Amino acid sequence: MQDDQTLSNRSTEGMVDYNAHSSAQQSMVANHAATIRKLVQNIGPVRPEFRIADYGCGPGLSTINVARSAIEAYREVEGDGPVAVCHLDQPGNDWNTLFTLLCGPEGYLEGRTCIRAEAAVGSFYDRMVSDESVNLATCFAASHWLSHAVHLDAPGSIWFADLQGEARRKMATLARSDWVRFLQLRAQELRPGGHLLVSTLGSVPDADEANGAAASGRGIYRAIQAAAQSMADEGLLDKASLDRFVFALWFQTEKDARDPIESDPVLSKAFEIKEVSVKPAPANADDVFGALIGDPAAYARKYTGYMRAFADTTLRTQLFGPAANDVEEADSLAEEFYRRFEALYREHPGKYRFELWNLTVVLRKRP
């Protein structure tokens, strides 16, 4: 298959069967339901409407739960005052599923009045809504995706945490400038007094790691590396593509997240920091799917489903497509890859476990 048919410049291409495999993301939102309520109360009544914007909303349940928490809190603040919920994501998001869900029994429209649901399509590394139009901005499990696909000279590592030397420096520079850009754009879109809540996967200092930090999900990415490397070693994947492929993501430490907000002149002027923290997830932080470890086959299936949901389109575009002559061949390579990945979890339960440290950033736009 030709590169120009298969390679994309996007950092992530969309989620596969996402609602069935996003329990980890849904827990992140559930854990912040109280934060959302508190932020809505702090913002108080607004005119002409209270506008929530959920950036990187994805196709369903998580963004619906974000909206529901905010709407319920606003109803306590201001009876039936008008509320607008804007769901923001890339063109490839499964918008049909999202709007079907939010109008149905699991949604937040049924039985309520004075609520407007809308979508904004694009990248959160660009302006997505108009100036000073958002009261509460949220972004769950999305801001770790960088602004574009990354190709580096990085044999032996498919993710940022194991990069070394020049490759690591380049990736760190991109991650920092993307974070600054993301926040500067939100500073323009938030109303004075509005709040931004970012919650995603983080990293914590760890002297035993090559780069001095343990990143969430390190087991998963190392299992992806092992499965892909074994296929490249057998000539099933293109070794040159694998050596240059790196997931375009970065899980920040508290310092990564905080430093630019304090030192960038635009950001320090725009935002008051309410919280920047990285903490173990409230439940199952040591192995997110550890409840299933007694049944290795189920444990392995859960991990494969979770990984496939966030990685499938990226891997197809960057690895399977370039090694295949047609779509059928790319499909077979994908199936072989998932078979190997699942076997790693079934045969070594716990070795590639998903450890989870949550990054939380809460900022208030200065009046």
Ligand X SMILES: C[S@@+](CC[C@H](N)C(=O)[O-])C[C@H]1O[C@@H](n2cnc3c(N)ncnc32)[C@H](O)[C@@H]1O
Q: Point out which residues bind ligand X (CB under 6 A).
A: 11-12, 14-15, 22, 25, 29, 56-58, 62-63, 89-90, 93, 123-125, 140-142, 145, 310
Smallest distance from ligand X to CB 80, Å? 27
Q: What are phi and psi of 4, to 5 degrees?
A: -70, -15
Smallest distance from ligand X to CB 17, Å? 12
Closest to ligand X by CB, 146 or 204? 146
Closest to ligand X by CB, 62 or 318? 62
What span, in angstroms and rounded, lies between the C-alpha atoms of 152 and 148? 13
Smallest distance from ligand X to CB 357, Å? 16
Smallest distance from ligand X to CB 141, Å? 4
Distance of CA 218 to the CA centre of its chain: 15
Closest to ligand X by CB, 13 or 243? 13
Q: What are phi and psi of 243, to 5 degrees?
A: -65, -25
Q: What are phi and psi of 146, to 5 degrees?
A: -80, 175
Contacts (Cβ under 8 Å, ≥6 apart) of 359: 198, 199, 200, 201, 202, 251, 252, 254, 257, 277, 278
Residue nearest to ligand X (CB): 58
Are 84 and 116 contacting, i.e. CB atoms less than 8 angstroms apart?
Answer: yes
What span, in angstroms and rounded, lies between the C-alpha atoms of 159 and 171? 10
Per-residue burial over 250-275, b = 16 or more CB atoms within 10 Å of its CB, e = otherwise:
bbbbbebbbebbeebeebeebbeebe
Are 171 and 150 contacting, i.e. CB atoms less than 8 angstroms apart?
Answer: yes
Smallest distance from ligand X to CB 231, Å? 25
Closest to ligand X by CB, 49 or 95? 95
Closest to ligand X by CB, 46 or 142? 142
Closest to ligand X by CB, 179 or 238? 179
Smallest distance from ligand X to CB 27, Å? 10
